Structures are given as C-alpha cells and as structure tokens.
Chains A and B, each alone.
Chain A
Amino acid sequence: MQTLWLRHDFSKAAEKLAGKFPDSSHAEQFRVEDTTWVSPDGETVAVLLCGAIPPELHLRALELLKDVNDFPSNRVTAMGTRSLARSIGRDGTPSPRSGVNVRVLRASPARQALLGWDRPGHETPQTVRHREMLNGNRALIELADRIYKRHLPIAYAKQRVEIEAKAPHYRLWKTTFTGLYVAKKFRTAYHRDGNLKGAMTAITPLGSFVGGALVLLRWRVAIPYKCGDLLLFNSEELHGNLPFKGERLSAAFFCGAWVAHCGE
C-alpha cells in the first residue's frame, strides 16, 4: 500500500466545474495500485484497494444488477445538465416538475437504481420490486463494510456510532451503510453526493470496460479502478468519471445524509 501526500488543493478552481464533464487533462495523477491519498491537513481523501472483491462476488453482483433500468431524472448535476422542466405537454406547456429533461435522458444511456433505505422506515420502490438485488449482494456489502473497517478505522467508528445511535434499524444488515446505489452506463459529470457528513462511500465498478476513471477534482487525482477493485472516498467532494467503453456498472455503498436527522 502506497501513501500519497497531496500538496496542492484546487478547491476554488474545482468549484467552477461542478456539473461539467471530467476530462483527462483535469488530473495530473493516475494510480493503478493500492494507494492511500492524504490531504495536506492529514485527512484521508481516498483509499484504493485493487482486487479486493473476489470474482464470485463481483460477477454475481453484475448478474443481479445488470437489469437496473430507472432513468436518472433526479440527478441533474451528475448528468451534466441543468434543472429544467422534464418535458413539454401536448398543449405546449412545460411540465411543472423539474429535473433532467427527457431530451437529455434520451441522449444518455445512463440508468440507475437506489436500493435500501432512503428515509427512516421507508425502503426504496426498487428494493420492494427487486429484493433479490439487495439480498443477493449481502456478502458483497458485508465485505465492503469489513474492508472499510480495516482500512479507515477512525472514520468507520464515527459512522458506526452515528448510525447505531440514530438509525440502527435502517441499515443494510449490521453494516454502516443504509443504501446501495447502482449506476449503469453512467458517465457522471462532477457532482457531490448527499451522504452523511464525514462518512466514506465504498464504490466498486462491475463489468468489462475500458476507461471510466474516477476523478477527484479538488486534488486533481484520477483513479482508474477496475472490476474487483474497491475505492473508499468522501463522496461529498466533487467527483466524476472519465468516458469509458464497454459494459460498466458501479455499485456504491453509502450512508444517507438523513441519518444525521433521524429520530429528531
């Protein structure tokens, strides 16, 4: 495991690129081995573990999750567009609902699914419809949790304390995650995810593809992870993907921001 100390913080310049698509010129570091990135103030920015997921788990996950088919109509920034009326009716009036416009949705092959809990006591519709997607991946989710515990024990302990105190019944088994987000053929623009503050997200790509590196714009780091690798990073920082070719899904295990207000 290599430790890489990041010297320059480009947060101000990065802000301007929220909602824009990443380009390979945005990153100056590409790492393809086990690495921990540490910010100038000593915080762990990301941990990449190559080959951490055994083939039987990621192949099974791919089989279970490859049929996700929801449009990412609520992910304006990640789609690289602006919040617009979703469509125009037959009478020529725009829809009162705003989000990703249908034209943009048609132009992109991206699909998504959210599994697990999305608020206290409420499972997402996708979980109810396709429970096998979650239950079949229990071993993978628990493995991601164990890896998180081993490599980032302090962040893990904080997250565990928070979730056990506030939402012990709304997590995926006994892990520190409340949900599994699946992105299919989704080349994301720079965006932030609304996760629990300070909590890390574990993400693993699935399928056979080339490209698709995750760019952490603030640090100008690109992480070209592959199927079987696991990346732990703070998804509240701006991040996005470089273009890719092939079949690519990514499964992100996260703890929702609503946990902080649970039980208030």
Chain B
Amino acid sequence: MTIETLCERSAPMRFPREADDDLLAERARLEAVACRQFCQYDKARLELGRTFIHIKATFKHGQWTRAYYAKTFGMFGVSFRTVQRWMQKARRADADAKNDGMSFLNPATDEGALKVNAATAKAEAELAGATRRKPTRENLLRLPAIPMKDDERDACERLVKGHWPRTENEIIALLKRLCVEFHIANSVHSRKES
C-alpha cells in the first residue's frame, strides 16, 4: 500500500490500519522527506504541513502524539504545536486552491463571447452536414448548366474517360484560340507579354 492510496481517502485520520512492514517503510521514507524539507524551512512550510498530514495518516487514531514527534523530529527545534499549525495551513491552502479551481471556470457571458460561441456552433453544424468530397476529374470538368443533347453528353463522358492529359491540352488550346477569335485576348501569349 502506498501513501498516495492512503491519502486519497477523504479523512485519513479516521481510518486506523495495521502497521505492517510496507507502512513502516513508507513512514520512514516520509520521515526522510520531512528531514530534508526542514532544511529548507522558510520555503517549505506548506510542503511540510502536507507531509505531516501524510505521516499522520499512517498512524492509528491516537498514536500521532507529541512524544512520537519529539522523538523523531525534536532535534529540529520546531514545536509540535507549530507543526500542527502548518498542517492546518496546508489543509486550508489546498481547500482554497480546490475552491478557486472550481469558481473561476465560469464561462464568459458577455455579448461578444456569446456571439462567437453561437457562430462556432452554427459553423460546426453546417460543416457536419457538408459532404467532404475530393475534387475528381468529373467535378473539375463540370461546366455550369450547359443544355446538352444525349449524344453530346455521351461524347463529354467519353472525353473525360479517355486519355486525359492530351484532352486537357487540346481543351486549353481550343479555349485560347476562342479567346483570340472573340477578341478577349490579342494573342495566346498576350497575358504573359503584358
């Protein structure tokens, strides 16, 4: 059993447990942590408070005593009462942090934020309905609403299914010739020259 699992319980002091070897080993590890943290006294009062909360959780009810503390940590010159105050402070700080985390998750409700949120939801709904199609040769060749007879439509389909690169070049050349013929461009190279 690790100390993390012990401390996940909501009120560790209310759960007395057997002092098995694992527990003693864990207690020794935490005592070592506490010794190290004592050396960084000013910076780590909160951390010490948390560590002592964890140490206390390893004892049965009533065994976390002034005598144990004096025997184990007495040489650091910090009274048992002071440590209890640190523990209280750590509990309060953790509770504050937890409450703060909850309270400041409120979403913004001003007009601008609501407008953007609504627009995003609308865009997502619109995109969910849209079909994602890859541009195919057929799509690319689709011309805008030209009325065609059946034989003309068949011819177009054969054109698309035929040797495409050559057909594409011929269509481009034809379009260029038509541009010149109807005075849309002076020559087939006019755009490049200009």
List B contacts of A25 (CB < 8 A): 103-104, 106
20 contacts between A and B (CB under 8 A): A10-B97, A10-B100, A17-B105, A21-B107, A21-B113, A26-B104, A80-B113, A80-B116, A81-B120, A84-B124, A91-B139, A92-B130, A93-B131, A93-B133, A101-B123, A103-B119, A107-B119, A243-B111, A243-B112, A243-B113
Interface digits, B89-133 against A, CB 8 Å rule (1 contact, 0 not)? 000000011001101111111111101111110111011001111
Q: From known contacts A8-B100, A94-B132, infer whether A103 and B123 are also in contact, taking CB-CB under 8 Å.
A: yes
Inter-chain CA distance A96–B122, complex, in Å, is 19
A103 and B126 contact, CB distance less than 8 A: yes
Seen from chain B, the residues whose Cβ lies within 8 Å of a Cβ on chain A are 96-97, 100-101, 103-113, 115-120, 122-124, 126-127, 130-133, 139
Seen from chain A, the residues whose Cβ lies within 8 Å of a Cβ on chain B are 8, 10, 12-13, 16-17, 20-23, 25-26, 79-82, 84-85, 88, 91-94, 101-104, 106-108, 187, 189, 220, 243
A187 to B, closest residue via Cβ: B112
A23 and B115 contact, CB distance less than 8 A: no
A217 to B, closest residue via Cβ: B104
Q: Which of A17, A26, A88 contacts B127 (CB 8 A)?
A: A88
Q: Would you call the interface of chain B mostly helix, strand, loop, or mixed?
A: helix
Q: Which of A16, A21, A81, A102 contacts B108 (CB 8 A)?
A: A21
List A contacts of B132 (CB < 8 A): 93-94
Inter-chain CA distance A93–B126, complex, in Å, is 11
Q: Which of B97, B103, B105, B110 contacts A16 (CB 8 A)?
A: B105
Inter-chain CA distance A187–B132, complex, in Å, is 32
Q: How far is the CB of B115 from chain A (nearest CB, A)?
A: 5
List A contacts of B106 (CB < 8 A): 23, 25-26
A82 and B120 contact, CB distance less than 8 A: yes
B105 and A84 contact, CB distance less than 8 A: no
A85 to B, closest residue via Cβ: B127
Chain A-chain B contacts (Cβ-Cβ < 8 Å), number: 98
Which 3 residue pairs are nearest across A and B when measured between Cβ atoms? A21-B108, A107-B119, A21-B113
List B contacts of A79 (CB < 8 A): 116
Inter-chain CA distance A16–B96, complex, in Å, is 18
B123 and A94 contact, CB distance less than 8 A: no
List B contacts of A93 (CB < 8 A): 130-133
A27 to B, closest residue via Cβ: B104
Inter-chain CA distance A17–B107, complex, in Å, is 9
Q: How far is the CB of B44 from chain A (nearest CB, A)?
A: 12
B130 and A104 contact, CB distance less than 8 A: no
B115 and A107 contact, CB distance less than 8 A: yes
A10 and B104 contact, CB distance less than 8 A: yes
B124 to A, closest residue via Cβ: A84
B112 and A12 contact, CB distance less than 8 A: no
List B contacts of A94 (CB < 8 A): 127, 130, 132
Most chain B CB inside 10 Å of its own CB: which residue of A16, A81, A82: A81
A244 to B, closest residue via Cβ: B112
B97 to A, closest residue via Cβ: A8
